Each structure stands twice: as C-alpha cells, then as structure tokens.
C-alpha cells in the first residue's frame, strides 16, 4: 500500500472551504519532513461536485478521492462518516487533516471513534520530530496552555485545525488522478437525521479574515448605543467588528459569528483595536498574532494591556468617539 497523507475538503454551494488550502500547505510541509515517500491526497464529497474535483486536481495533490451522491447534498454526519471510513479502510492514510469548521468539528471525533484512533483537536501546530513522529500541538484552558499530543499506536493520526491557523501557500500543480470512493458503506448506512432546512445569512461588510483592521468590543462598551461606535469606526477604517463573550450575553451582538477567541475565531489583522475588553485568556489567544495591538480600558490593571503594543487608559466609548471625529475631520 502506498503511504498517504489525506486532507479532507469541506464544501458547500460556495465551493471548497478555504481551510482546505491552509491544511494542504501544512500537509506538504509534513510530507517533505517525513523520511519515506508519501502521497498527498484530497478527499471531497457532496452532490454535483465535478467542478470541485477538478479544482482539487489542480491544487497540488497527487490524488483526489471523491464521492458524489444525493445523500451527500447537505452534511449528515452518518453519511459523511460512512464515506470517510470507507476511504480510510480502502486507502489507509497515515495522517488525516480535517478543518475544524463547525461541521468538521463533528466529523473528526466521529471518525476517530469509528476507526478507533486518536484525534487531536484544534491543533495550532503540526510537525514531524527527529524520531519521525507526528507532533500535534493543541491548546487547552483557552489557549493559556499548549500541549503536545501523540497518536503512537493507531492510524490514521487524525488532527483537526481551525480556519486561519495555518497560512496558505499555493502548491505547484501535479498530474493528479481522481478516484471515486467505493459506496458500499454509504449505501448500507441508515440515518435517523433528516435535513429540514439550510440557512445562510447574507454576508455583511468585510469578512473578518480579510480585514486589515479588526475593532473588537467587550463588556466595557457598556451599552448597545455605544456598540454602534465600533461599527462606525470599522466602516471608516474599512475593517470588521469582533466581539467577546460578554457582548453576546448582553445582547449587543446577535450571535457568536464574530466572537474572537480560542472557542471562536482566531484572527491576525494588521491592527487589532480592543475596546472595553478586560482580556480573558481565550480571547487573547484568539488575537495574539495580530500585527499591532491597541487596547482601551478604564481599568489600568486590565489583563489585555499586557498583551498590547499600545494601551490607552480611559473610557472606551469616549476614546472611540474622539478617533472617529478625528478621522472625519
């Protein structure tokens, strides 16, 4: 059997989730550091995905494994895991990387249990050590602690990685082959999950991961009215607005979509501005890779100041108002 590193590609009507390319870049790095020869392969499934299979063939992989079926139109963990399990059993990848998207986070552990192997969750680093073993670095306690994880006895070693953790570099295109995954397990699988509806919100403003500036607000913003200042400043700076947990709890933002932190989004804009944020560890770990960190807080001893390049001790909304007026002037 050929040796393989697999990268799972999640897709929907908008195409392949970009985290695939981030993971592929990392997989290629691992492939180079491994002593033996490994093939790089991509795995994709869905309904009517022939154009995506072609896109993957041009992504720098050696092989594309795909499955097309009506059952795979919308994510159903039973059907998706049946296909992935068939792929694992038939082609025996030694390493399998899965993007820790909302759905990937469910697929990875399900797979780990079905094939009885270990899954390292939300890896922040993956590398091959001198012994040729895969070292998986995972965060715990909101990212305050990082720990190495090994999967010594079972295959594949499954690792999930959140979007935005690794940097994408396009690989050189190879003469990739596309191979259809056998459907025996998919056809046999019964599911008691039934998809009733899929809903996508219309995108608003600049996507967080594309913004050069992220203006992030916390509990210290004090009110919904003051919260609007963040939106106003973000528009002026052509940036995006992020938040911390308390802003969701207070109802100033509708959901967790733009929550920054280890359990939300990890960001690395050129400039991060934190307003009224005290600096809980899981938030700091989600923004620590930003270029310049500026934070504003009334409390001189706020934890966030220790992780800032610049600190402003003062009322966040007053300072934001002044910055907005100065830009407009």
- The site that binds other proteins (CB under 8 A) totals a number of residues, namely 94
Label the pairing between strands 119-120 and 125-128.
Answer: unpaired
Could you say whether residue 266 binds other proteins (CB under 8 A)?
A: no
Could you say whether residue 25 binds other proteins (CB under 8 A)?
A: no
Burial annotation 114-146 (CB, 10 A radius, 16+ → b, else e): ebebbbbbbbbebebeeeeebebbbbeebbeee
Kindly state the tokens that stand for 241: 């607005």
Among positions 2, 89, 291, 299, the unique one binding other proteins when judged by CB under 8 A: 291
In sequence order, which residues have a C-beta less than 8 Å from that of residue 119 and are 6 or more positions away? 108, 109, 111, 112, 158, 159, 160
Could you say whether residue 132 binds other proteins (CB under 8 A)?
A: no
- Smaller CB distance to other proteins: residue 23 or 176? 23
Residue 58 near residue 173, CB atoms below 8 Å: yes
Could you say whether residue 328 binds other proteins (CB under 8 A)?
A: no
- Smaller CB distance to other proteins: residue 59 or 160? 160
Instruction: Kindly state the DSSP code that residue 202 receives in the 8-state scheme.
Output: P
Could you say whether residue 260 binds other proteins (CB under 8 A)?
A: no
- Smaller CB distance to other proteins: residue 3 or 288? 288
Instruction: With both helix axes pointing from N to C terminus, report the angle between 224-237 and 316-328 in degrees, rounded to the nearest 10.
Output: 40
279: left (phi over 0), alpha (psi -120 to 50) or beta: left
Q: How far is the CB of 77 from other proteins (least distance, A)?
A: 7
Rounded to an integer, what distance in angstroms lies between the CA atom of residue 110 and that of residue 104?
Answer: 10
- Smaller CB distance to other proteins: residue 39 or 222? 222
Rounded to an integer, what distance in angstroms lies between the CA atom of residue 66 and that of residue 56?
Answer: 10
Could you say whether residue 34 binds other proteins (CB under 8 A)?
A: no
Q: How far is the CB of 257 from other proteins (least distance, A)?
A: 7
Rounded to an integer, what distance in angstroms lies between the CA atom of residue 219 and that of residue 159?
Answer: 34
Selected range binding other proteins among 26-34, 60-68, 98-106, 220-228, rule: CB under 8 A: 98-106
Selected range binding other proteins among 38-46, 174-182, 186-194, 223-231, rule: CB under 8 A: 186-194
Is residue 106 helix, strand or coil? Answer: helix
Among positions 2, 148, 169, 299, the unique one binding other proteins when judged by CB under 8 A: 148
Could you say whether residue 74 binds other proteins (CB under 8 A)?
A: yes
Rounded to an integer, what distance in angstroms lies between the CA atom of residue 137 and that of residue 122?
Answer: 8
Could you say whether residue 108 binds other proteins (CB under 8 A)?
A: yes
Among positions 13, 48, 147, 187, the unique one binding other proteins when judged by CB under 8 A: 147
Q: How far is the CB of 252 from other proteins (least distance, A)?
A: 13
- Smaller CB distance to other proteins: residue 54 or 299? 299
Rounded to an integer, what distance in angstroms lies between the CA atom of residue 230 and that of residue 274?
Answer: 10
Among positions 1, 131, 175, 194, the unique one binding other proteins when judged by CB under 8 A: 194
């Amino acid at each position: 059997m050929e040796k393989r590193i697999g990268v799972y590609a999640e897709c929907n009507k908008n195409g392949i989730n970009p985290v695939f390319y981030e993971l592929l870049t990392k997989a290629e790095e691992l492939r180079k550091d491994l002593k033996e020869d490994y093939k790089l392969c991509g795995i994709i499934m869905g309904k009517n995905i022939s154009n995506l299979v072609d896109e993957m063939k041009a992504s720098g992989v050696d092989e594309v494994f795909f499955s097309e079926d009506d059952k795979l139109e919308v994510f159903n963990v039973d059907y998706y895991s049946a296909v992935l399990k068939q792929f694992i059993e038939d082609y025996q990848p030694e390493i399998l990387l899965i993007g820790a998207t909302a759905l990937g986070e469910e697929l990875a552990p399900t797979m780990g249990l079905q094939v009885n192997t270990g899954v390292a969750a939300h890896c922040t680093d993956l590398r091959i050590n001198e012994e040729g073993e895969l070292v998986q670095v995972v965060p715990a306690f909101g990212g305050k602690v990082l720990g190495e994880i090994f999967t010594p006895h079972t295959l594949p070693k499954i690792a999930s990685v959140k979007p935005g953790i690794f940097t994408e570099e396009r690989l050189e295109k190879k003469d990739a082959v596309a191979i259809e995954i056998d459907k025996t397990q998919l056809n046999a699988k019964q599911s008691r999950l039934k998809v009733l509806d899929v809903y996508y919100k219309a995108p608003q403003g600049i996507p967080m991961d594309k913004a050069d500036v992220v203006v992030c607000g916390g509990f210290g913003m004090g009110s919904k009215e003051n919260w609007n200042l963040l939106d106003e400043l973000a528009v002026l700076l052509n940036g995006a607005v992020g938040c911390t947990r308390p802003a969701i709890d207070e109802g100033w933002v509708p959901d967790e979509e733009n929550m920054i932190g280890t359990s939300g989004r990890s960001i690395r804009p050129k400039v991060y501005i934190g307003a009224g944020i005290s600096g809980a560890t899981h938030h700091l770990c989600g923004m620590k890779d930003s270029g310049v960190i500026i934070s504003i807080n009334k409390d001189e001893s706020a934890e966030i100041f220790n992780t800032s390049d610049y600190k402003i001790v003062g009322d966040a909304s007053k300072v934001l108002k002044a910055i907005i007026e100065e830009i407009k002037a």
